[in-house]
Chain A
Amino acid sequence: MYGPKIDNLLGLFLENDIKFIDTVSLDIIDKEFIEEIRNLPEDISLSFGRSLREFKCTVQDYESQRVHEIFLKYNGLHKLTISRVNLPHSQLQECEYSSIEEVVLAFRQYINSLSLYFQELESIDTSFTVMEPVKPTFKDDYRRILLDERTWLHVEVTSNGSAMNIHLVGQSEHWHDKLQAGLLAWDHDKDIVSNITDIFDLMKSSSFVKQLDKVEATNDNKVDFPSCAICFCVELPDNPGVPQPVCQNPNCGVYFHKSCLFQWLVACERGRLPAFGVANGSCPTCLQSITCSEKDN
């Protein structure tokens, strides 16, 4: 999508058709801006999107090889806004900028302040099987890690690289005590991955080793997702989450989208919404009692 590099493109315009660039510059892009693009420092690279008003700017970490992409929109002379960025949400995204260099300066500072955040997330993504987000990026500040087939661990990472809001998703009974004890003994001098590994004895536990085999077998960092027992799909266009092992019955291994299960439990109550957003009822597969919140977490 982001095809020709700016240099080639501008070169084409400038050399081949001066008239064209004149009209274009009035209509789409002003001359000052073109000058600015031509004089950008070498460490900033730029490519265009579908139109000359949308472009992508890539910035590299100073300390490592990570490349961060900032998607910009040109709204007129000295008016640049951020349309998308693969970083956790910040105030910087809401501002208007007068030049590309100003954008890069602001974001470079922000990116440098996030170095621990990047490190922790990278380490989680390479050490564990991440179930959610489906395609983890630095934009998502949380990870759901596979503990066993029916339990995931939810971890959020703060901008300074510490773990937050750690809890279990799915059938938690088996892991609950370990997590409670582990949270009290959390070692802040170690990184998140070593803490989690220590809490759950992950390296020793056979189930985890098995999962690792599975991951290697599929050849990328993804296990095949079980589909939702209600809609029979894994991903839905209007449904952000993936199916989860919601039922607490250890003999029931069924996965549901929280939104699908919630809709069913509400339908059983003739459409009456539950108090506090938590619906009760019975599991549509094993008929044991089940609770489900509308929203995730």
Chain B
Amino acid sequence: MANMRNARLMREIKNLEASPPWGITCNPDKDESLNVLHVKMLGPRGSPYESGLFDLIINVPEKYPFEPPQVKFITPVYHPNIDKGGRICMNMLKMPPKGSWLPTITIETLIISVQSLLANPNPDDPLMMDLAIEYKHDIEKFLDNARKHTQKYAI
């Protein structure tokens, strides 16, 4: 069991190194248990997070891939679905039936989904109520705030 988890993770990390997706690097923590991965992610082009570089940390559970990894932003992000502690509200990060995690989803798919969540917030399932309201009712102000926030923390 632990064997298959690590074999799969090694394969995934190797693939990510060999052909990294746009604006994403992913490195395992120094210890060999492959429990923690460090991700650096560029904000999507055309979004208020553009040109920001965001640090994330992925905790891979013992039961991976039968349980989803936990993904957290280290860099503060101004976003309706990301709270002050960096926690991300995304269906793919939760177990069914509530969430939509599947063992066929890879770390790569997951990081790309987080990246695209930055560009496409989901204000109907918010973690930050006030930001969701701002996003829905005063999008210009939201974009301006997000840009400033990115300037301050992610560059």
Contacts and interface: CB of A to CB of B under 8 A. Distances in A.
A102 to B, nearest CB: 42
B103 A230 contact: yes
A284 B104 contact: yes
Interface in A132-161: none
Contacts of A238: 1, 3-4
B66 interface: yes
B8 A231 contact: yes
A233 B12 CA distance: 11
B65 interface: yes
Given A238-B1, A267-B67, A284 B8 contact: no
Contact of B66 (A254, A267, A285): A267
Contacts of B66: 263-264, 267
Interface in A239-275: 239, 254, 260, 263-264, 267-268
Contacts of B3: 236-238
B103 A284 contact: yes
User: Which applies to chain B's interface (DSSP): helix, strand, loop or mixed?
Assistant: loop
Contacts of B63: 267
A285 B8 contact: no
A284 B96 CA distance: 11
A184 B7 CA distance: 46
A285 B102 CA distance: 8
Nearest to B5: A231
A233 B104 contact: no
B92 to A, nearest CB: 13
Nearest to B9: A232
A261 to B, nearest CB: 9
A229 interface: yes
B104 A230 contact: yes
Q: Looking at B7, B63, B104, which has the most chain A CB atoms within 10 Å of its CB?
A: B104
A58 to B, nearest CB: 35
Contacts of A264: 66, 103
B95 interface: yes
Nearest to A237: B3
A70 B4 CA distance: 34
Nearest to B97: A268
B61 to A, nearest CB: 11
A263 B97 CA distance: 16
B106 to A, nearest CB: 8
Interface in B108-138: none
Interface of B: 1, 3-4, 7-8, 11-12, 63, 65-67, 95-97, 102-104
28 contacts: A229-B103, A230-B65, A230-B103, A230-B104, A231-B4, A231-B7, A231-B8, A232-B12, A233-B4, A233-B11, A236-B7, A238-B1, A238-B3, A238-B4, A239-B4, A254-B104, A263-B66, A264-B66, A264-B103, A267-B63, A267-B66, A267-B95, A268-B95, A268-B97, A284-B102, A284-B103, A284-B104, A285-B102
Given A230-B65, A238-B3, A268-B97, 20 more contacts: A229-B103, A229-B104, A231-B4, A231-B7, A232-B7, A233-B11, A236-B7, A237-B3, A238-B1, A239-B4, A260-B4, A263-B66, A264-B66, A267-B66, A267-B67, A267-B95, A268-B95, A284-B103, A284-B104, A285-B104
